[in-house]
Structure 1
Amino acid sequence: MVSISTSYYINYKLMKKKVKQYLRQLELSEENRDHILKDFSRILDKQIEKIVLFLLEQQGQLAKRLSNLEEEHDSLIQQNDNSELQEAYRNVGQDLLRLLFFVELNAIGLRKILKKFDKRFGYKFTNYYVKTRANHPYSQLRQVFKHVGISAVVGTLSRHLADLQDHQGRFLSIYDQPALPLPDPIIESINSAVNRLTNSTDFLHYLGKHALIPEDELTSQSSDELEERYHFMSLLLNLANTFLYMVNTYIIVPTADSYSLSLGAAATVCGAVIGSMAVAQVFSSVYFSAWSNKSYLKPLIFSSIVLFVGNTLYALAYDLNSIYVLLIGRIFCGLGSARAVNRRYISDCVPPKMRMKASAGFVSASALGMACGPALASLLQTKFIIFKFTFNQDTLPGWIMALAWLVYLFWLSILFREPSHFEKVNSMQPENNNGLQTGSLENGVTTQPLLSSLLEKQEDEDEDEEFDISEEASEESHKPVTSIVSAYKLLTPSVKVQLLIYFMLKYAMEVLLAESSIITSYYFIWSTSNVAIFLAFLGLMVLPVNVIIGNYLSNMFEERQVLLASEVMVFVGIALSFHTIIPYSVPQYVCSALLTFVAAEVLEGVNLSLLSRVMSPRLSKGTYNGGLLSTEAGTLARVIADGTITVAGYWGMSTLLNVTLLPSLFICICSIVATFFTYNSLY
């Protein structure tokens, strides 16, 4: 069994002492900055070297044990002693897993001390350090975050365990069939740990990151209490709420302009009609997030009732001939946005081993709803009157969604099971002083609480010395923030840039989608059905694009590289959308819109993945969490974008396209510049 002494861990206490010394030196003279930079770099280099050399030494010992087992392999196979051989390989795997946790804890410590240094000294040490160390041919920093020796050990373990399955009559090879139908549990755990360290991903995990739902950092275990809270039908109803809300959001987009015209308003008032829902969502996100601290069923019931009322008002506005009733109906729909509850339910009530799938389901439900909304609108091209109520392409989206929410409310009341209590998942599992959970892993693979024992030993050495491996420990890091102001104070420059990028991509997408019916009818005389089919096609692009990014690009390039490239592609798409001297054509509009939308979708996934990594742990729970902040940023972007469309309408239809694209282009340029300034802090 691998025994790891505290002396091999990053000496966080020493570096904190150094930071305090540096602060005192700066008080004496500002000329000490260069000396401080070089001295702290030297200390950090030594710490990383210590970690890497120990890692290489342990890898060598594991390789030697595997080599010895290799010599005994054939003889034990001939004696039909597979169980003893399997146990020996699994013991090696368990020690490898402990070593991976050692690396992961040190990686966390490195990120934290870099962030602390930047915060205390007000200049970008992280930018300098990563820039000079990360890509150097002899870089030891890359060994901690992008190690390669582990994969060779994992490969040997996988091959031999698969070979044992082969002798049981399965006749499988990891080279002929890499994805074994019955992979050994220890290999699954090791692969999961390696993927966390290297940020490797697949479609499911990449899609799940879109939801910004926190995962347990150092364990894949699920407690008995959490299993009791899980109810599959309740999860499905929660996802159904997500799907229906996105359908509700986009089903009116193809006809919002014609509905506004029929009520005596300008076509560009569709921006206000679409945006009024987002305005209300800015407020609903907060109270739904707070409400989910006490219940899940009650806010979902309230959401369904409000959405039923809102859609009914939206449909009745035609016969009442009132644009105000139309706007009030959409405001009610925004007040029923329960996406904060949808996220929170998955975070609190779904076991960790299923949480990524549930998160991917949340994102898939949103994407499918976005595609189904316009597609459904294209089928509602009819007109008839029943009991003086008009049913046509403008009112039918409201009537259809009102009926859908009524049916959903019925099934919700019958089948949804409210969890018996509402304690956070984090309180159900023992935490060490880092706020990171430790214990036994899934499938019986156990690990010692490395960080917990590390803290105990270091604190025994100096009880009076403050010790924390978490940046926010001195600020009650285990407690969620209690206000939006407190949440804002925890936002580092990197997090602020990520939120700016999220704002930018949502703004660009909203301008593209919300004004599509006006632009296409003005330039190309498209019918409502044509617009609806075009929007549905864009919505259907979400999942295929994420398959490509999740399975391939995110594993070929660093996330920050994909982030910057996606921002540039969004810029190109927006630039190509402008109407210049050349007559505006369908190919130009479709190609530029497709490029903008696809690039924005890629950007959203990688942006939220990076955001979850650089955001403070205190923002992973409570009312004012990271999911709420990103939702508010995106919703605010939609509000401003829809308002821009309405205001731009006063300058005439001929200038609408360019006037609405200019802010998108400007914000995109700002986000690209900001990304360059924080690029190395995203390492």
Structure 2
Amino acid sequence: MVRFGKKLQAHQVEGWHCYYIDYKMMKKKVNLFARSLRDYPSERRHILKEFSRILDDQIEKTVLFMLEQQGHLASRIEKLGEERASLQDAPEISRVCVLCEKYREVGWDLLKLIKFVDINAIGIRKILKKFDKRIGYGFTDYYVRTRSNHPYSQLQQVFKHVGIGAVVGAISRNLVELQHRQGSYLSIYDQPSVITKEPVIESIEAAVDKITHTTSLIEFVGTHALIIQEEIPALEEEQVEDKEYHLQSLLLNLVNAFLYMVNTYIVVPTADDYAISLGAAATVCGVIIGSMAVAQVFSSVYFSAWSNKSYYQPLIFSSIVLLIGNLLYACAFDLDSITILLIGRLLCGLGSARAVNRRYISDCVPLKNRMQASASFVSASALGMACGPALAGLLQTNFKFYIFSINQNTSPGWVMGFTWLIYLVWLLISFKEPVREPEVPHRGESSDVVSILNIENGNAQPLLQTDLEEIQEAEDDDLDVNVSEKSAEESRKPATSFRSAYRLLTPSVKVQLLIYFMLKYAMEILLAESSVVTSYYFNWTTSHIAIFLSLLGITVLPVNIAIGSYIGNIFEDRQILLASQITLLIGILMSFNITVTYTIPQYVISALITFISAEVLEGVNLSLLSQVMSSRLARGTFNGGLLSTEAGTLARVAADGTITAVGYLGESMLLNITLIPSFLICIISIIATFFTYNSMY
């Protein structure tokens, strides 16, 4: 992988080199300041002031050049406007075509300017992150707070440039009117539905959306999968993304994700009744539901590692284990064994192949189709979450088939077992294992093999002694230390353990993972104890609970549409992040039973506020995570998707364990006591967000 500094240089527009931020110089300054601070700790204040001045100068240089170029583009458009005015009376087709081509040339030059701004914005983010990491001080928080909120902010010009939008509008309007209206009809402002299919306009809009983090619904939903992209895309000659992929194999991965979520939530409405029928307390439903999450903590790791070598084999294994697990869950009723039931649910958790589903999309789907595939993965999961309880509500049967009991408690196991059997047959017939690229040996493999490969490739060179700690801290283009190419390459490889992955997390990313833990905990408390709480307070039947949970699940996609298409393009991600946490806290507070009579409206409204707030929070949090998490966590076993999955799964385990533990105090105490941890964790996450707010930039 090309180092960031080299990528930045390779993507620079010819003739504009001196106007980019001097990333290499600033990186050297950071290393120099870090060494100076180790020797002279009292110099911290001077170092902060000096680096602030250096960065201010670099940003000012970039912003002034950007404004100068915008002026040149505006001047060219003004001259073209005069030329266009001369065509109003007697437009000639040939002159119109020439004028359209001139507008396109302005558009392509504007695209160069947008990419210029984008590269500099990425460089600023990375140098701020590097400074925080090397100096051990929250400089980013200070710098963004003081620069972005100032009325003369130049930092805002880089990240929130308004002038570019006006230039895009001018080019679009004139091209549309020249091509379709010839100046005698309404403009694009009068008829917003009128758009131009010009490639240059589409490229400009995509570039502007990227730099301003404007998202479409597909992009917003797709980021929920947390498939991390490189900050700077590979050069055209480096891209090998045009390879074909097997559509039916992708479909099988999406169906696997859907069925697994159905399998997870289909037992929620009946888990308490099943526990009672086997002689256990109703609150043991927490263990029944949570045992699947316990096993998923481990399955996520080995499936992620397995997917480094194969996708077909782990999917086969997953289907077989889920088939067996569901059959055991169903047979537990006739065997009168809570142990068999729990073993069945544990096996279902061990069959969780979501890490494989995510890795297949990341590794095998071309870049141009990856966001749509990611959005499909998230949508399939959300649909499964809604369909699970709904299906349980429909399975209200009670009869014997030979020696097997088919009732509302066992039907979910029989139905899902049969479904996984059909899926397994489809998988065996239709899945196609993709061809893998030859792997380069990683650290830890035989040094003889590495040496032979180096000699064969002409790469043999002596290894220099280096500071191991500095190499381990290196990220993409990190420290400018005196290391060999091989050592530098080692420092940019994917994380090889949870510990090394944790070292790549910045404070803001750690807070976002805490937020993810918090929202999953709150959602699991709400969903897992719903059957017990509603039965105790309102005497709801299984059908009532199934309808209630299905309605909650159905809100997922409308919420994503609202955030991804509208709200997310009006407010910053970090603003929505904070607001949704506060709303979630309000929902939790409203859920407490502090009156003599606990009413259905109070429960339903508070549950809707809690669930919808958590959904908004999850979408925005993962969208933000996909932007700020290290690109080294895009690859390998211990990737960003695995970290988020583990955080969410641990939250579910903790929540289900809480429900079961509190159950010993009685059902009357269940609601209030289980809400207390949700309330406290939510407050902690809000405070942590305030402390890292300006780092989420």
- TM, length-normalised to structure 2: 0.88
Letter paired with 1:470: D
Residues 1:624 and 2:674 aligned together: no
| Aligned match for 2:407, one of 392, 416, 420 | 392
- 1:84-103 aligned at under 5 Å gives the runs 84-103=98-117
Question: Gapped runs of 5+ residues in structure 1?
Answer: 425-466
Secondary structure at the aligned position of 2:400 is classed as strand
Residues 1:579 and 2:579 aligned together: no
Kept in 2, the 8 Å contact 1:215–1:355? The answer is no
Secondary structure at the aligned position of 2:432 is classed as coil
Call closer, same or farther: CA 1:234–1:21 in 2, change over 3 Å: closer
Call closer, same or farther: CA 1:171–1:365 in 2, change over 3 Å: farther
Call closer, same or farther: CA 1:626–1:179 in 2, change over 3 Å: farther
1:579-626 deviation digits (Å, cap 9, x = unpaired)? 113321111111111100000000001111111122111001111100
- The alpha carbon displacement at 1:28 in A equals 4.9
The equivalent residue for 2:513 is 499
Residues 1:60 and 2:71 aligned together: yes
- The alpha carbon displacement at 1:231 in A equals 2.0
Secondary structure at the aligned position of 2:201 is classed as helix
Kept in 2, the 8 Å contact 1:55–1:99? The answer is yes
Residues 1:6 and 2:20 aligned together: no
Question: 2-side partners of 1:228 and 1:23: how far apart?
Answer: 45
The equivalent residue for 2:498 is 484
Secondary structure at the aligned position of 2:405 is classed as strand
Secondary structure at the aligned position of 2:269 is classed as coil
Letter paired with 1:149: G
The equivalent residue for 2:397 is 382
Call closer, same or farther: CA 1:414–1:75 in 2, change over 3 Å: farther
Kept in 2, the 8 Å contact 1:279–1:331? The answer is yes
Kept in 2, the 8 Å contact 1:112–1:471? The answer is no
Question: 2-side partners of 1:2 and 1:579: how far apart?
Answer: 63
Call closer, same or farther: CA 1:472–1:416 in 2, change over 3 Å: farther
The equivalent residue for 1:653 is 667
| Aligned match for 2:44, one of 23, 33, 36 | 33
Question: 1-side partners of 2:475 and 2:585: how far apart?
Answer: 42
Kept in 1, the 8 Å contact 2:592–2:675? The answer is yes
Question: 2-side partners of 1:409 and 1:663: how far apart?
Answer: 40
The equivalent residue for 1:537 is 551
- 1:233-632 aligned at under 5 Å gives the runs 233-422=248-437, 470-471=477-478, 476=490, 478-632=492-646
Question: 2-side partners of 1:280 and 1:317: how far apart?
Answer: 19
Question: 2-side partners of 1:423 and 1:656: how far apart?
Answer: 55
Letter paired with 1:592: S
> Is the deviation greater in 550-559 or in 4-13?
4-13
- The alpha carbon displacement at 1:71 in A equals 2.8
Question: 2-side partners of 1:8 and 1:468: how far apart?
Answer: 25
- 1:42-121 aligned at under 5 Å gives the runs 42-73=53-84, 77-121=91-135
- The alpha carbon displacement at 1:135 in A equals 1.2
- The alpha carbon displacement at 1:216 in A equals 4.9
Secondary structure at the aligned position of 1:264 is classed as coil
Letter paired with 1:256: A
Call closer, same or farther: CA 1:325–1:468 in 2, change over 3 Å: closer
Secondary structure at the aligned position of 1:583 is classed as coil
1:203-231 deviation digits (Å, cap 9, x = unpaired)? 22111111111235445979995443412
The equivalent residue for 1:682 is 696
> Is the deviation greater in 89-98 or in 639-648?
89-98
Percent identity between the two aligned chains: 66
Kept in 1, the 8 Å contact 2:31–2:479? The answer is no
Call closer, same or farther: CA 1:159–1:476 in 2, change over 3 Å: farther
Kept in 2, the 8 Å contact 1:112–1:469? The answer is no
Question: 2-side partners of 1:222 and 1:637: how far apart?
Answer: 44
Secondary structure at the aligned position of 1:311 is classed as helix
Call closer, same or farther: CA 1:309–1:72 in 2, change over 3 Å: same
Question: 2-side partners of 1:274 and 1:509: how far apart?
Answer: 13
Kept in 2, the 8 Å contact 1:222–1:351? The answer is no
Question: 1-side partners of 2:186 and 2:226: how far apart?
Answer: 37
Secondary structure at the aligned position of 1:228 is classed as coil
Question: 1-side partners of 2:237 and 2:291: how far apart?
Answer: 41
Question: 1-side partners of 2:43 and 2:130: how far apart?
Answer: 19
Kept in 1, the 8 Å contact 2:27–2:479? The answer is no
Question: 1-side partners of 2:183 and 2:539: how far apart?
Answer: 66
Letter paired with 2:80: L
Call closer, same or farther: CA 1:168–1:276 in 2, change over 3 Å: farther
- The alpha carbon displacement at 1:662 in A equals 0.8
Question: 2-side partners of 1:539 and 1:237: how far apart?
Answer: 23
Kept in 1, the 8 Å contact 2:147–2:155? The answer is yes
Residues 1:663 and 2:683 aligned together: no
Residues 1:154 and 2:168 aligned together: yes
* Equivalences, count: 642
- The alpha carbon displacement at 1:179 in A equals 4.9
Call closer, same or farther: CA 1:181–1:375 in 2, change over 3 Å: farther
Secondary structure at the aligned position of 1:651 is classed as coil
- The alpha carbon displacement at 1:34 in A equals 2.0
Call closer, same or farther: CA 1:668–1:537 in 2, change over 3 Å: same
1:137-156 deviation digits (Å, cap 9, x = unpaired)? 11000011111111011111
- The alpha carbon displacement at 1:634 in A equals 0.2
Question: 2-side partners of 1:284 and 1:100: how far apart?
Answer: 43
Letter paired with 1:531: I
The equivalent residue for 1:435 is none
1:492-546 deviation digits (Å, cap 9, x = unpaired)? 1111111000000000000000000000000110000000000000000011111
> Is the deviation greater in 372-381 or in 408-417?
408-417
Question: 2-side partners of 1:125 and 1:195: how far apart?
Answer: 28
- The alpha carbon displacement at 1:323 in A equals 0.5
Letter paired with 1:410: V
Letter paired with 2:357: N
- TM, length-normalised to structure 1: 0.90
Question: 1-side partners of 2:614 and 2:275: how far apart?
Answer: 29
Question: 1-side partners of 2:138 and 2:214: how far apart?
Answer: 27
Kept in 2, the 8 Å contact 1:295–1:422? The answer is no
1:160-181 deviation digits (Å, cap 9, x = unpaired)? 2222441599988532443556
1:107-137 deviation digits (Å, cap 9, x = unpaired)? 1111111111111222211111111111111
